[in-house]
Amino acid sequence: MTDTPNKSHGRKAIRPSFKPRALMEDEQLANVWTAQVITLFPDAFPGVLGQSLTGKALKDGLWQLDAIDLRPFGIGKHRNVDDTPAGGGAGMVLRPDVVAAAIEAARKRAQAPLPLIYLSPRGKPFTQNMAKSLAAGPGATLLCGRFEGVDQRVLDHYGVVEVSMGDYVLTGGEIAAQALLDASVRLIPGVLGNADSTEEESHSNGLLEHAQYTKPPEWEGRSIPDVLMSGHHGEIAKWRRKMSEDLTKERRPDMWQAFLDQKATKTP
Protein backbone atom coordinates (compact mmCIF):
# COMPACT_ATOMS: atom_id res chain seq x y z
CA MET A 1 0.00 0.00 0.00
CA THR A 2 1.08 3.61 -0.49
CA ASP A 3 0.14 6.99 0.89
CA THR A 4 0.22 8.48 -2.62
CA PRO A 5 -3.19 10.14 -3.04
CA ASN A 6 -5.64 9.19 -5.75
CA LYS A 7 -6.37 12.46 -7.51
CA SER A 8 -9.29 11.18 -9.58
CA HIS A 9 -11.91 12.81 -7.38
CA GLY A 10 -13.46 15.62 -9.37
CA ARG A 11 -10.50 17.67 -10.53
CA LYS A 12 -6.74 17.37 -10.32
CA ALA A 13 -5.91 20.22 -7.98
CA ILE A 14 -7.29 22.98 -5.83
CA ARG A 15 -5.41 26.26 -5.74
CA PRO A 16 -5.45 27.76 -2.25
CA SER A 17 -6.60 31.35 -2.29
CA PHE A 18 -6.63 34.10 0.29
CA LYS A 19 -10.08 35.07 -1.03
CA PRO A 20 -12.95 33.02 0.45
CA ARG A 21 -14.94 30.77 -1.83
CA ALA A 22 -18.58 31.66 -2.37
CA LEU A 23 -20.89 29.49 -0.33
CA MET A 24 -22.68 27.79 -3.21
CA GLU A 25 -20.50 28.58 -6.21
CA ASP A 26 -17.39 26.47 -5.83
CA GLU A 27 -17.31 22.85 -6.93
CA GLN A 28 -16.79 20.14 -4.34
CA LEU A 29 -14.42 17.20 -4.45
CA ALA A 30 -15.95 13.82 -3.69
CA ASN A 31 -14.66 11.71 -0.79
CA VAL A 32 -12.21 14.34 0.43
CA TRP A 33 -11.64 15.48 4.01
CA THR A 34 -13.69 18.66 4.31
CA ALA A 35 -13.33 21.64 6.62
CA GLN A 36 -16.24 24.06 6.80
CA VAL A 37 -15.68 27.26 8.77
CA ILE A 38 -18.62 29.49 9.67
CA THR A 39 -17.16 32.93 10.30
CA LEU A 40 -17.72 36.66 10.07
CA PHE A 41 -14.24 36.93 8.56
CA PRO A 42 -14.03 34.49 5.62
CA ASP A 43 -11.08 36.49 4.24
CA ALA A 44 -9.03 35.05 7.12
CA PHE A 45 -9.04 31.66 5.37
CA PRO A 46 -7.10 29.72 4.31
CA GLY A 47 -4.54 32.03 5.96
CA VAL A 48 -1.51 30.06 7.10
CA LEU A 49 -3.32 26.86 6.10
CA GLY A 50 -2.61 27.83 2.50
CA GLN A 51 1.14 27.61 3.15
CA SER A 52 3.66 24.78 3.52
CA LEU A 53 2.44 21.18 3.72
CA THR A 54 -1.20 21.98 4.50
CA GLY A 55 -1.29 24.39 1.57
CA LYS A 56 0.24 21.84 -0.79
CA ALA A 57 -2.26 19.24 0.41
CA LEU A 58 -5.08 21.72 -0.21
CA LYS A 59 -3.81 22.36 -3.73
CA ASP A 60 -3.42 18.63 -4.38
CA GLY A 61 -6.95 17.86 -3.24
CA LEU A 62 -6.14 15.89 -0.09
CA TRP A 63 -8.57 18.14 1.77
CA GLN A 64 -10.88 21.04 0.95
CA LEU A 65 -11.94 24.19 2.73
CA ASP A 66 -15.24 26.12 2.70
CA ALA A 67 -15.13 29.49 4.46
CA ILE A 68 -18.82 30.26 5.00
CA ASP A 69 -19.57 33.93 5.55
CA LEU A 70 -22.03 34.39 8.42
CA ARG A 71 -23.03 37.93 7.40
CA PRO A 72 -25.35 37.02 4.46
CA PHE A 73 -27.52 35.07 6.92
CA GLY A 74 -28.03 38.20 9.02
CA ILE A 75 -31.41 39.79 9.70
CA GLY A 76 -32.87 42.87 8.03
CA LYS A 77 -31.48 45.53 5.76
CA HIS A 78 -28.17 45.69 7.61
CA ARG A 79 -27.78 41.92 7.95
CA ASN A 80 -27.53 42.04 11.73
CA VAL A 81 -26.01 38.87 13.18
CA ASP A 82 -26.02 39.78 16.88
CA ASP A 83 -28.08 41.43 19.60
CA THR A 84 -27.75 42.51 23.23
CA PRO A 85 -27.46 39.83 25.94
CA ALA A 86 -30.69 38.78 27.61
CA GLY A 87 -30.58 39.93 31.23
CA GLY A 88 -28.22 42.77 30.42
CA GLY A 89 -24.46 42.99 30.34
CA ALA A 90 -21.67 44.18 28.09
CA GLY A 91 -21.10 43.15 24.50
CA MET A 92 -23.25 41.42 21.93
CA VAL A 93 -24.31 37.80 21.33
CA LEU A 94 -24.65 36.01 18.00
CA ARG A 95 -28.33 35.32 17.29
CA PRO A 96 -29.55 31.70 17.23
CA ASP A 97 -31.65 32.14 14.08
CA VAL A 98 -28.70 33.58 12.17
CA VAL A 99 -26.27 30.89 13.28
CA ALA A 100 -28.85 28.16 12.61
CA ALA A 101 -29.37 29.37 9.04
CA ALA A 102 -25.61 29.19 8.41
CA ILE A 103 -25.40 25.71 9.94
CA GLU A 104 -28.27 24.46 7.78
CA ALA A 105 -26.61 25.85 4.66
CA ALA A 106 -23.32 24.18 5.64
CA ARG A 107 -25.09 20.85 6.18
CA LYS A 108 -26.70 20.99 2.75
CA ARG A 109 -23.33 21.67 1.16
CA ALA A 110 -21.48 18.89 3.00
CA GLN A 111 -21.28 15.51 1.26
CA ALA A 112 -21.32 13.63 4.57
CA PRO A 113 -22.46 14.41 8.13
CA LEU A 114 -19.69 16.41 9.78
CA PRO A 115 -19.07 16.94 13.52
CA LEU A 116 -20.07 20.47 14.53
CA ILE A 117 -17.51 22.25 16.73
CA TYR A 118 -17.73 25.66 18.39
CA LEU A 119 -14.35 27.21 19.27
CA SER A 120 -14.91 28.42 22.82
CA PRO A 121 -12.66 29.15 25.84
CA ARG A 122 -15.13 27.24 28.02
CA GLY A 123 -14.95 24.10 25.88
CA LYS A 124 -13.10 20.88 26.57
CA PRO A 125 -9.36 21.16 25.83
CA PHE A 126 -8.28 20.17 22.34
CA THR A 127 -5.82 17.27 22.35
CA GLN A 128 -3.71 15.27 19.95
CA ASN A 129 -6.16 12.40 20.29
CA MET A 130 -8.98 14.70 19.18
CA ALA A 131 -6.90 15.73 16.17
CA LYS A 132 -6.36 12.06 15.30
CA SER A 133 -10.07 11.35 15.62
CA LEU A 134 -11.01 14.26 13.38
CA ALA A 135 -8.36 13.34 10.80
CA ALA A 136 -9.77 9.81 10.62
CA GLY A 137 -13.27 11.10 9.85
CA PRO A 138 -14.84 12.98 6.94
CA GLY A 139 -13.91 16.43 8.26
CA ALA A 140 -15.52 19.02 10.52
CA THR A 141 -17.73 22.11 10.57
CA LEU A 142 -16.24 24.81 12.79
CA LEU A 143 -18.23 27.71 14.22
CA CYS A 144 -16.17 30.81 15.01
CA GLY A 145 -17.68 32.97 17.72
CA ARG A 146 -17.32 36.73 18.11
CA PHE A 147 -18.34 39.33 20.69
CA GLU A 148 -19.69 37.65 23.85
CA GLY A 149 -20.32 34.34 22.11
CA VAL A 150 -23.28 32.43 20.68
CA ASP A 151 -26.84 32.06 21.97
CA GLN A 152 -26.89 28.86 24.03
CA ARG A 153 -30.11 27.65 22.42
CA VAL A 154 -28.56 27.06 19.02
CA LEU A 155 -25.65 25.19 20.62
CA ASP A 156 -28.09 22.95 22.50
CA HIS A 157 -30.37 22.46 19.49
CA TYR A 158 -27.59 21.14 17.25
CA GLY A 159 -25.63 19.34 19.95
CA VAL A 160 -22.58 21.47 19.19
CA VAL A 161 -19.32 20.32 20.80
CA GLU A 162 -17.43 23.18 22.45
CA VAL A 163 -13.65 22.94 22.13
CA SER A 164 -11.00 25.16 23.69
CA MET A 165 -7.48 25.67 22.37
CA GLY A 166 -6.21 26.86 25.74
CA ASP A 167 -6.96 28.74 28.93
CA TYR A 168 -7.08 32.19 27.38
CA VAL A 169 -9.55 34.34 25.44
CA LEU A 170 -9.20 35.50 21.83
CA THR A 171 -11.22 38.16 20.03
CA GLY A 172 -12.78 35.44 17.89
CA GLY A 173 -12.56 31.80 16.90
CA GLU A 174 -10.71 32.20 13.58
CA ILE A 175 -7.16 31.77 14.91
CA ALA A 176 -8.29 28.84 17.06
CA ALA A 177 -10.01 27.26 14.04
CA GLN A 178 -6.83 27.48 11.99
CA ALA A 179 -4.85 25.86 14.81
CA LEU A 180 -7.37 23.02 15.12
CA LEU A 181 -7.38 22.45 11.36
CA ASP A 182 -3.59 22.50 11.11
CA ALA A 183 -3.29 19.89 13.87
CA SER A 184 -5.89 17.67 12.19
CA VAL A 185 -5.05 18.09 8.50
CA ARG A 186 -1.38 17.22 8.98
CA LEU A 187 -2.49 13.77 10.20
CA ILE A 188 -4.43 12.98 7.02
CA PRO A 189 -2.57 10.23 5.10
CA GLY A 190 -0.34 11.72 2.42
CA VAL A 191 -0.11 15.24 3.87
CA LEU A 192 3.24 14.73 5.61
CA GLY A 193 6.12 13.40 3.55
CA ASN A 194 7.12 10.97 6.31
CA ALA A 195 4.16 9.55 8.20
CA ASP A 196 6.52 8.12 10.83
CA SER A 197 7.36 11.67 11.94
CA THR A 198 4.06 11.87 13.84
CA GLU A 199 4.80 8.81 15.97
CA GLU A 200 7.39 10.42 18.29
CA GLU A 201 5.89 13.90 18.49
CA SER A 202 4.86 15.48 21.75
CA HIS A 203 1.51 14.11 22.98
CA SER A 204 1.40 11.31 20.38
CA ASN A 205 2.45 8.63 22.88
CA GLY A 206 1.52 10.39 26.10
CA LEU A 207 4.96 11.99 26.51
CA LEU A 208 6.65 15.19 25.42
CA GLU A 209 9.06 14.86 22.51
CA HIS A 210 12.80 14.52 23.15
CA ALA A 211 15.19 17.29 22.11
CA GLN A 212 16.34 17.43 18.48
CA TYR A 213 19.78 18.27 17.06
CA THR A 214 21.32 18.80 13.62
CA LYS A 215 24.48 20.20 11.99
CA PRO A 216 26.93 21.67 12.87
CA PRO A 217 28.21 19.09 15.39
CA GLU A 218 29.37 21.91 17.68
CA TRP A 219 27.84 25.36 18.04
CA GLU A 220 28.70 28.11 20.55
CA GLY A 221 30.64 25.56 22.60
CA ARG A 222 27.71 23.17 22.73
CA SER A 223 28.05 19.70 21.20
CA ILE A 224 25.50 17.18 20.00
CA PRO A 225 25.20 14.39 22.62
CA ASP A 226 27.69 11.62 21.82
CA VAL A 227 25.03 8.91 21.75
CA LEU A 228 23.33 10.58 18.78
CA MET A 229 26.58 10.43 16.82
CA SER A 230 27.30 6.80 17.78
CA GLY A 231 25.25 5.13 15.05
CA HIS A 232 23.93 2.71 17.70
CA HIS A 233 20.19 2.84 17.03
CA GLY A 234 19.23 0.87 20.13
CA GLU A 235 21.10 3.22 22.45
CA ILE A 236 19.73 6.25 20.59
CA ALA A 237 16.19 4.98 21.10
CA LYS A 238 16.84 4.46 24.83
CA TRP A 239 18.32 7.96 25.16
CA ARG A 240 15.37 9.57 23.38
CA ARG A 241 12.87 7.65 25.47
CA LYS A 242 14.58 8.67 28.73
CA MET A 243 14.72 12.31 27.65
CA SER A 244 11.01 12.24 26.76
CA GLU A 245 10.20 10.81 30.17
CA ASP A 246 12.43 13.30 32.01
CA LEU A 247 11.01 16.28 30.13
CA THR A 248 7.45 15.15 30.79
CA LYS A 249 8.12 14.69 34.51
CA GLU A 250 9.68 18.15 34.74
CA ARG A 251 7.37 20.21 32.53
CA ARG A 252 4.03 18.39 32.57
CA PRO A 253 3.55 16.42 35.81
CA ASP A 254 -0.13 16.05 34.87
CA MET A 255 0.82 14.27 31.64
CA TRP A 256 3.39 12.15 33.46
CA GLN A 257 0.81 10.95 35.99
CA ALA A 258 -1.65 10.16 33.21
CA PHE A 259 1.09 8.24 31.40
CA LEU A 260 1.86 6.22 34.54
CA ASP A 261 -1.82 5.52 35.13
CA GLN A 262 -2.31 4.32 31.57
CA LYS A 263 0.81 2.17 31.82
CA ALA A 264 -0.46 0.63 35.06
CA THR A 265 -3.79 -0.36 33.47
CA LYS A 266 -1.91 -2.25 30.73
CA THR A 267 0.27 -4.15 33.24
CA PRO A 268 -1.13 -7.63 34.00
CA distance 102 to 43: 17
Span 32-70, pLDDT tens digits: 999 999 999 999 999 999 999 999 999 999 999 999 999
Q: What is the mean pLDDT of residues 127-148?
A: 96
Using an 8 Å Cβ cutoff, are 70 and 40 in contact?
Answer: yes
pLDDT at 11 over 90: no
Kindly give the pairing relationship between strand 116-125 and strand 93-94. Answer: unpaired
pLDDT at site 5: 44
Higher pLDDT, 115 or 5: 115
Q: Is 190 left (phi over 0), alpha (psi -120 to 50) or beta?
A: left
Using an 8 Å Cβ cutoff, are 125 and 149 in contact?
Answer: no
pLDDT at site 226: 96
pLDDT at 170 over 50: yes
Closest CA to 45 of 182, 147, 166: 182
Identify the bridge partners of residue 146 per DSSP, sorted by sequence position: 172
CA distance 2 to 240: 28
CB-neighbour burial class of residue 218 (10 A; exposed 0-12, middle 13-18, buried 19+): exposed
User: Which pTM was predicted?
Assistant: 0.83
pLDDT at 186 over 60: yes
pLDDT at 20 over 90: no
Q: What is the mean pLDDT of residues 134-158?
A: 97
CA 88, 89, 92, 98 torsion-angle sign: negative
252 confidence band (pLDDT: 50, 70, 90): very high
pLDDT at site 3: 46
Span 216-230, pLDDT tens digits: 999 999 999 999 999
